[in-house]
Amino acid sequence: MTELEAGRAQALTPVRGGAALHRYRDVLIALIAFAVLASLPLFTGSKALLDFVIRCSAYGLFATSLNLLVGYTGLTSFGHGMFFGLGAYSFGLIMQKLGVPIPVAFVATLAITAMVAAIIGAICVRLKEIYFAFVTLAFQMLIHSTILSWASFTGGDQGLRGGIPRPAFLGIDLANHVHLYIASCALLILGLLAMRQIAQSPFGYTLRMIRDNAARASFLGIDVWRAKLTVFVLAALFASMGGMVMALFVSGAYPEFAYWTISGEGIFINMLGGVSTFLGPMVGTVLLLLLNDTVTRFTEYHGIVLGVVILFFALGLRKGLLDFVAEWFARRRDAGEGRHA
Amino acid sequence: MLEIRNLAKSFGGVKATNDVSLDFADGSLTAVIGPNGAGKSTFFNLITGALRPDSGQVLLDGVDLAGLSPPEIVRHGIGRAFQVASIFRSLTVQETMLAAVSADQRSSAVLHKRFPLAETRDRAEHVMELLGLAGKRNRIAATLSHGDQKLLDIALALVLEPKVLLLDEPTAGMGPEERWRMIDKVRELWETQKITVVFIEHDMDIVFKIAPEIVVLCYGRILATGTPDEIRNNSAVIDAYLGTEHAGAAA
C-alpha cells in the first residue's frame, strides 16, 4: 500500500456508515439525557430546581435556534426574540379564546409562526450583515408595539392575564407541576434532536457554506436566498416552541417576552456558551440563568456583574465556554498525535 | 460549444467589455491575456452571471445564458475558479467536495438525512485524487497552503462536472516553480477530462508554451485571436502589449 492509499483507507473507514452511526449516537445521548432529567423528580422534591430546568428548556430551545442563524449560517439576528414572544402569545390566545386541546394549539402556533417568519424572512434575508440585524430588530419592535397597543386583544402592557387554561390530554395534565416539567424536558430534548439533525444534514452543510462564502455557494448552484429563508423559518419554529414552554410555565404571556432584550439575551447566551459547537448555547443558557438567579439574590446591580462576565468571555477567552473547551481538547489531541508521529 | 455574441458591458462611461464575439470549440484550451484593466475578469463575470451583460449573448450548445443568475448558469455547465481562491474556510477539504457534489445533485436542501450522502462520495473522491488533495482531505481549508487553496478552488469547479471551465489566473500569487506545477496540472486536467478550458494568465512564457489558442483583450475589445505564433507576430499586439522585447526574443 502506498502512503496515499494508506491515508485514504484510514480516512474512509470512519466516514463510511459513520453518518448513520452518528445519528444513533445522538438519539442515544438524547434518550439518556431525557431519562436523567425525567427521573429528577424522583430524587428531589425541590420545586425551584424543576422550575429552573423548565426555564432552561424554554431559553435553551430559543438560544439553540438562534445559533442555527448566528453560528451555522452567519445571520446575526437581533430580532429572534420576536418569535419567542409570538409563540407565547399565539399559544396563550388560542388556548384562552378557542379552548382547543393543547396539541392543537401547539401545532396551530407553529403554523402561525411559520407564516409570519416566512413573510418577515423574505424581507430580511436579502440584507447583509448589519442591515439584516437592524431590520430584524425593527420587526421585533413592531411586534412588541403591536402587543402593547392592541390592548383589547393582547391585554396591552398587562399581558395575557387570567391564566392559560391547561386541559388534560392523553393523560397529561400540564396544570400538574411534574407533568409540566416532564413535558418541558421532552420538548427540549425533541427540539434539540431535531435541530441537531438540521445542523448535520446536507442542508446544515449548505448553511455552513453560506456562512463561509455565500458568493462561492451560489457558483455551486445553491440558491442562497432560499436556503437563508428556510433556516430563518425553521429557527423561528424552535424559538416559538421555547415561547410556548414559557407561556405554559408562567401561565400567561407578557410583553417582555417579545421585547428586544429577549433577543439580546439570546445573543448573550450564545456568546457565553459558544457558537461553534451545537451544545454551546445550551451551556450558555444554564450559565446565564444560574448567574441571573444567584447574582440577583446578592446585589441589585446584577447588570454590572453580567456585563463584567460577558466582557471576560468576549475579551478574555474571545469565545464561548464550550468553544474554549472544544479547542482545548483539539489542541491536546493534536499535540498527542504530534508526539506519536 | 461556447459562443459569445456581441457581448457588451459598461460601467458609467467605461466600456469594460465592448462588442466581444468569440467561439470556444468543445475541448479547446484557450488563454485570455491582456494588460491590467483590459476587461478579462469582467469578461468572465459576464459569462458566469456574476455581472449582467448590457447586451449580447452567451450561447452554450445553442442555449442563451446571458442574464441568468450564477446558480442557473452553473447548472447549465459553466464552472469557474477565482483569482483569489474562493473556498469555504471552516470546512475540511473532504467536506467541501462532498457538499459541492450535494449541491450539484440538488440534495443541498435535504433535511432528513445525515451529511454526507453516500451517492456524493465517488465523485468527491475522484476529484480529490485528480487534484492531489486526497492526502489532505481532513485539513481545514483555511489551513491549506496558498497553492492548495487554489487547487481546492479549481476542484470545487471541477467536481460539478462542467462542460466549460473558466480559470481566473490559476497561478496568481505563486512563485515561479509553483506556477509551472499549477499550469501543468491545468493542462493535465484539460487533456484527461476532455472539457473546454479558458484561463486568464499574465505570465507570457506560460501562455505561449501551453495554450493552443490565445485571445488578447485590450480596453474591452478583442485585439487579436490565434495560435501562439500568430499572436507573437501580430503587430497590434506587439504595439499594445508585448513590446519589442518579446518580439525580439521570439525572433
pLDDT digits (tens, 9 = 90+) for B140-179: 999 999 889 999 999 999 999 899 999 998 888 888 888 8
| Mean pLDDT value across residues A5-17 | 46
Q: Which residue has the cell 491575456?
A: B33
| Mean pLDDT value across residues A225-241 | 96
**For A236-262, how does the pLDDT look when each residue is reduced to its tens digit (9 = 90+)?**
999 999 999 999 999 888 989 989 888
Residue A305 lies in a domain: no
pLDDT at A330 over 90: no
**Under 8 Å between Cβ of B102 and B117:** yes
**Under 8 Å between Cβ of B4 and B58:** yes
pLDDT at B248 over 80: no
User: How many helices (H) and strands (E) are present in chain A, helices listed first?
Assistant: 14, 0
CA distance A169 to chain B (A): 29
Cα angle, residue A250 at apex, residues A161 and A247 outer, rounded to 5°: 85
- Residue B54 burial class via C-beta count within 10 angstroms: exposed 0-12, middle 13-18, buried 19 and up: middle
**For B193-244, how does the pLDDT look when each residue is reduced to its tens digit (9 = 90+)?**
889 999 998 888 888 888 999 999 888 888 889 998 888 888 888 877 766 5
Which residues from B are below 8 Å from A when comparing CB atoms? Answer: 48, 50, 69-71, 74-75, 79-80, 82, 86-91, 94-95, 98-100, 102-104, 107-118, 121, 134-135, 137-138, 156-157, 160
pLDDT of residue A17: 56
Q: Look at B102 and A202 and tell me if their CB atoms are within 8 Å.
A: yes
pLDDT band for A8, please (50, 70, 90 cuts).
very low
One-character DSSP codes across B219-235: TTEEEEEE-HHHHHT-H
Please state, in angstroms and as integers, the Cα–Cα distance from residue B161 to each residue in A52, B29, B122, B155, B189, following that order: 54, 16, 13, 10, 12
Residue of A198, A209, A228, A237 to mutate for B, most B C-beta atoms under 10 A: A209
**Under 8 Å between Cβ of A159 and A252:** yes
Residue A143 lies in a domain: yes
pLDDT at B189 over 50: yes
Domain that holds residue A150: 23-258
**Under 8 Å between Cβ of A143 and A85:** yes
pLDDT of residue A338: 55
Chain B residues inside the 8 Å CB shell of A211? 90
Which is more confident, A192 or B176? A192
Chain B residues inside the 8 Å CB shell of A208? 88, 90-91, 99
> Rounded to 5, what percent of chain A is helix, strand, coil?
80, 0, 20
pLDDT of residue A14: 46
pLDDT of residue A296: 79
CA distance A58 to chain B (A): 24
Least confident range from A138-152, A213-227, B37-51, B237-251: namely B237-251
Q: Cβ–Cβ contacts within 10 Å for residue A224, how many?
A: 20
- Could you say which DSSP state residue A258 is in? G
Report the 3 state secondary structure along B109-160. CCCCCCCCCHHHHHHHHHHHHHCCCHHHCCCEHHHCCHHHHHHHHHHHHHCC
pLDDT of residue A234: 97
Least confident range from A78-92, A297-311, B91-105: namely A297-311
CATH number for the domain harbouring residue B230: 3.40.50.300
Buried b (16+ CB within 10 A) or exposed e, A14-25: eeeeebeeebee
**Under 8 Å between Cβ of A196 and A26:** yes
Chain CA centroid to CA A164, Å: 24
Chain B nearest-CA residue for A229: B109
Question: What is the pairing mode between strands B164-167 and B78-81?
Answer: parallel
Please state, in angstroms and as integers, the Cα–Cα distance from residue B104 to each residue in A220, A221, A224, following that order: 7, 7, 14
Domain that holds residue B195: 2-250
pLDDT of residue A333: 79
Chain B nearest-CA residue for A17: B118
| Mean pLDDT value across residues A14-26 | 70
- The ipTM of this complex is 0.86
Q: Look at B135 and A4 and tell me if their CB atoms are within 8 Å.
A: yes
Total count of domains within chain B: 1
Q: Look at A208 and B112 and tell me if their CB atoms are within 8 Å.
A: no
Q: Look at B86 and A213 and tell me if their CB atoms are within 8 Å.
A: yes
pLDDT at A341 over 50: no
CA distance B49 to chain A (A): 9
| Mean pLDDT value across residues B1-24 | 89
Residue A317 lies in a domain: no
Total count of domains within chain A: 1
**Under 8 Å between Cβ of A320 and A280:** yes
**For A116-148, how does the pLDDT look when each residue is reduced to its tens digit (9 = 90+)?**
999 999 999 999 888 999 999 999 999 999 998
From CA B27, how far away is CA B105, in angstroms rounded?
A: 24
From CA A33, how far away is CA B169, in angstroms rounded?
A: 53
pLDDT at B5 over 80: yes
Q: Look at B48 and A205 and tell me if their CB atoms are within 8 Å.
A: no
Chain A nearest-CA residue for B155: A220
